[in-house]
Amino acid sequence: AQKVTQAQTEISVVEKEDVTLDCVYETRDTTYYLFWYKQPPSGELVFLIRRNSFDEQNEISGRYSWNFQKSTSSFNFTITASQVVDSAVYFCALHDNTDKLIFGTGTRLQVFP
Amino acid sequence: NAGVTQTPKFRILKIGQSMTLQCTQDMNHNYMYWYRQDPGMGLKLIYYSVGAGITDKGEVPNGYNVSRSTTEDFPLRLELAAPSQTSVYFCASSLPSGGGSGTQYFGPGTRLTVL
């Protein structure tokens, strides 16, 4: 069965700290896609990154970086030097072979000034 | 290019009433989806469509109906609203992962309360 687990329900940090959000997935498919979305307090869902199962290269975009490890079925997300504007709920999601997204339950990140 | 638009943004229904949530996308995406998000939870798939005239059930379809007569529009119908349908509803669209990115882009959501 396809499943996404975000074990961290809520994380609180002080501005400028680094923080890593964990994501563990389960799938029997050999081809799949992993995503991270951000949901700020305003409620919309913002696409952050997509990674396919054949590309294990880590990705860095500004203060954001992603570590994809097939050996541990993990796709972790790190924010470096966190800012108050990073406060949001972050969802990890798995795209299965029927083009449906399976979401984790989300991690609420609070960054305090 | 507006992306995915949803109307209304907010709505309060009485138990037993019906309503239609509208969703339109202008990205020429084949695939469209409806999700609900309950407080403090992730998103659950209600219905999805891979093209005009084709719809299929997701994880939580009971109490809802959909239709897809055009590529752009994918309305969600609630019949006989119940308090358990109080939620935030998101519409999304994408290209298929085979020929496109498969990335789903979301509308701003509709917050529905059933009293």
Report chain A's mean pLDDT, rounded to a whole number: 93
* pLDDT tens sequence across B25-76: 999 999 999 999 998 888 999 999 999 999 999 999 999 999 999 999 999 9
Task: State phi, psi for A70 to the nearest 5 degrees.
Answer: -65, -30
Residue matched to tokens 């609203």: B81
CB count in 10 Å sphere of residue A56: 12
Cα–Cα dist B41/B54, whole Å: 28
Q: How far apart are CA B36 and CA B44, in angstroms?
A: 5
| Mean pLDDT score, A55-62 | 84
Alpha-carbon gap: A80 to the closest alpha carbon of chain B (Å): 25
Could you read off the pLDDT of B81-111 as tens digits, one per residue?
Answer: 999 999 999 999 998 776 556 789 999 999 9
B interface test, pick of A99, A102, A108 with most B CB neighbours within 10 Å:
A99
Q: From CA A92, how far away is CA A24, in angstroms rounded? A: 9
pLDDT for A91: 96
Decide if A47 and B105 are in contact by the 8 Å CB cutoff: yes
DSSP chain A: --EEE----EEEEETT--EEE--EEE---SS-EEEEEEE-TT---EEEEEEETT----EEETTEEEEEEGGGTEEEEEESS--GGG-EEEEEEEE-TTS-EEE---EEEEEE-
- Tell me the C-alpha distance between B4 and B35, whole Å: 14
CB contact under 8 A, B101 and A50: yes
- With CA atoms as reference, the chain B residue closest to A4 would be B42
- The rounded distance, in Å, linking the Cα atoms of B59 and B84 is 15
pLDDT score for B60: 95
* Alpha-carbon gap, residue B34 to B80, rounded angstroms: 18
Whole-number Å distance between alpha carbons of A71 and A77: 17
pLDDT of residue B96: 77
First to last CA, chain B: 36
Looking from the CA of B9 toward its CB, the CA atoms found within 13 Å total 4
